[in-house]
Amino acid sequence: MSACPHTSVATATAESADPCCAAPLPVLGRDVTVPLVTGGEVTYAALDYAASAPALQRVWDDVAAYAPYYGSVHRGAGYLSQLSTDLFENARRTVADFLGCREGDQVVFTRSTTDSLNLLAAALPADCQVFVFETEHHASLLPWRDARVTYLDAPRTHDEAVHTLERALADREPYGPALVCVTGASNVTGELWPVRELAAAAHAHGARIVLDAAQLAPHHPVDIADLDVDWVAFSGHKLYAPFGSGVLAGRADWLQAADPYLAGGGASRKVARRADGGVDVEWHDTAARHEAGSPNVIGAYSIASACKALQEAGFDGLVERERHLIRTVREGLAAVPQVRVLSLFGDDAPRVGVISFVVDGWNSSHFAAALSAEYGIGVRDGLFCAHPLVRTLLGGASDEPGECGAPEAAPGERSLNAIRVSFGAGTPDEHVERFVRAVGELVADGARWNYRTEDGRCVPDTDAAAGSAAGAAAA
């Protein structure tokens, strides 16, 4: 509809911002200050983009401009309902353009990457075999357990990853439908995976492939046709659009042949009573088949807004700027001998802005808590919903505790979990520079406060006197 709301917010681009200082794309909350346990306040350094990225200011402005016009999607004759329906379907087309979808591909709006991959798992044809590396996020590792699934060992090079998959596909019996699930960029190490080569291997052996692009899409262009993958899944909340939607995009045939992921209004074309008292239903064969219920139009619109912002900013400039931040962090961590950065493919492997590490003599949960309480820096500690991968990288046994807040090793002993720093298009230099400085100071001088475990999290002990670095670092 011609009166569809639109914002004229001026969006900063990678070219218009100083590539060495400012964030290319302004994000909501960039000026938020948080209290320090040692006194005073500081601008919050959000360095946990791999978990959830802040909303782009443009996305928030677009959503706020649309909100007064909200109406039911595909369910109303009124002006606002028609406008909202147009907005929802235009968002679908914007996402298809962002992903380089092929003719005949479908874009299904879901709740998240996890939801997208579970939808695909529910649509697998009978006797489909699934192949997945143990290095995957749980969202990619777990949905296939009701299928015939083969878990592949962690590779240490790109070539090994391709050869491991080729051997597994060649050995499968009987020869029937097969699916490979692979991440584009690790949520633990940030390392890029050889998606194009893995797709070629899958197709050479008659298999299909789905790309978990949750960590890739916010940092690098994702083109379904160019990568030659069959499906792509990602989440809005990692793509600077945290409003409850995700995407599954790709081939339509398996989705059209499967029963709806959820049964209900919107998924059905026709429902009628039978003479015997039962109910017959005819399902849609479009994306609506798997979008039962009133759709999250704000979530879909916010994803489309983020896609446009990233395309307009230009990935070339965004990628180069992020490499600058990665160099700053990696060089800073390398200058601290007690820090060990986790990696599958080695120091020279290409990566996005996600880096995990451990610190000798430090409990990872306490280290992350000190970064927050004493420096205003938000990172993540734990196993990052990728337990097998982190266990492989740390060399721990599968039955050891170590998720966020779990009891950890004493100083000098092997850590049972890790610390992750992650960043993106909304990160200014000052945030990563403060992080590097804080790591060096904590390792050299210890924490300035005491910490304790409360409700599974390490928190400052407000009842204890400050100044006991040894107590802060001990498990």
pLDDT digits (tens, 9 = 90+) for 309-339: 999 999 999 999 999 999 999 999 999 999 9
Which CATH class name applies to 33-52+314-462? alpha beta
Q: Where are the beta strands (DSSP E) in 305-463?
A: 339-341, 354-359, 377-378, 380-382, 418-422, 451-454, 457-460
**In contact, 342 and 188? CB cutoff 8 Å:** yes
d(CA 279, CA 275): 9
Average pLDDT value over all residues in the chain: 91
Helices and strands per DSSP (H, E), number in the chain: 14, 19
Q: Pick the catalytic residue: 128, 385, 404, 458?
A: 385
Query: How do beta strands 418-422 and 279-283 pair?
Result: unpaired
**Diameter of the chain by CA atoms?**
80
pLDDT score for 454: 85
What's the Rg (C-alpha) of the chain?
24
Phi-psi region of 197 (alpha: psi -120 to 50; beta: other; left: phi over 0): alpha
Helix 429-445 / helix 364-375 crossing angle, nearest 10 deg: 120
Which tokens belong to 39?
A: 């006194």
Domain boundaries, the chain: 33-52+314-462, 58-312
Q: How far is CA 414 from CA 165, 387, 394, 395, 411, in A?
A: 32, 16, 8, 9, 8
404 is catalytic: no
Q: What is the 3-state secondary structure (H, E, C) of 11-56?
A: CCCCCCCCCCCCCCCCECCCCCEEECCCCCEEECEECECCCCCCCE
pLDDT score for 402: 52
Which tokens belong to 437?
A: 């400085």
The dihedral built from the CA positions of residue 33, 37, 38 and 39, taken in this order, carries a sign that is: positive
Helix 297-313 / helix 315-334 crossing angle, nearest 10 deg: 80
pLDDT score for 12: 36
The count of other CB atoms within 10 Å of the CB of residue 102 is 13
pLDDT score for 416: 80
Task: CATH number for 58-312: choose from 3.40.640.10, 3.20.20.70, 3.30.70.1450, 3.30.365.10.
Answer: 3.40.640.10
Mention every residue, 6+ apart, whose C-beta is less than 8 A from residue 346: 156, 157
Return averaged pLDDT per consecutive 10 residues of the chain, 475 residues in all.
Answer: 40 40 91 96 98 98 98 95 98 99 98 98 96 98 94 98 98 90 99 99 98 99 98 99 98 96 92 94 92 95 99 98 98 98 96 98 93 98 96 75 48 74 98 99 96 86 58 43
d(CA 89, CA 95): 10
The dihedral built from the CA positions of residue 365, 370, 373 and 379, taken in this order, carries a sign that is: negative
pLDDT score for 4: 47
d(CA 24, CA 9): 15
**SS3 assignment, position 475:** coil
d(CA 395, CA 223): 35
Q: How far apart are the first and last CA of the chain?
A: 60
